[in-house]
Amino acid sequence: MSGLSANDSEGNFFIERGIMTLKQYKQLNINRENLDLQLLIGLATDDELFEQIEVEIDLFVKCFKIIEKEDADCYKKLLLLVLFDRINDLYAYLFHLFPINVKHVQKYMDLCSNYICSILSSLPTILKQYNLIK
């Protein structure tokens, strides 16, 4: 057992697949909360934001590679969607709050061009599973 509640499917996935340890996962969540607070009160820097984006992209890519090899059920596909959405939100903050940096834009374009088709193709399955479409 990972030491997390059964409801923490993201953390359980990361730990059970060897993506990170429980200690690393707890630190990830602390870092996420700290960045959210810094964004809220206007103290986040573009470097801090981009550093977290790179951490989230690394997690996404590791999960994508694992899920691609497995018989991915709806919940695993939903995890990828949640991770991709988190990255997209962080980029939205970065591009809205700070001057545009070509390196950041290129990284975002690479991410989208490499993974957006897979993410979009999983949407109908996820939406059907949750009875959001027929």
Rounded Cα distance, 5 and 130, in Å: 22
Rounded Cα distance, 8 and 82, in Å: 13
Residue 65 near residue 22 (C-beta atoms within 8 A): no
What's the pLDDT score for residue 134?
Answer: 62
Summarised one tens digit per residue, pLDDT across range 45-103 is 999 999 999 999 999 999 999 988 887 676 788 888 899 999 999 999 999 999 999 99
- Beta-carbon neighbour count of residue 58 at 10 Å? 11
Asked whether residue 2 carries a pLDDT value surpassing 60, the answer given is no
What region does 26 belong to: left with phi over 0, alpha with psi -120 to 50, or beta?
alpha
Rounded Cα distance, 113 and 74, in Å: 23
95-127 in b/e form (b: 16+ CB < 10 A) is: eeeeeeeeebeebbeebeeebeeebeebeeebe
66: three-class secondary structure by DSSP: helix
Rounded Cα distance, 113 and 70, in Å: 22
Residue type, 6: A
More confident residue, 8 or 73: 8
- What is the domain partition of the chain in residue ranges? 9-129
Residue 119's pLDDT band, with cuts at 50, 70 and 90, is confident
Q: What is the reported pTM?
A: 0.86
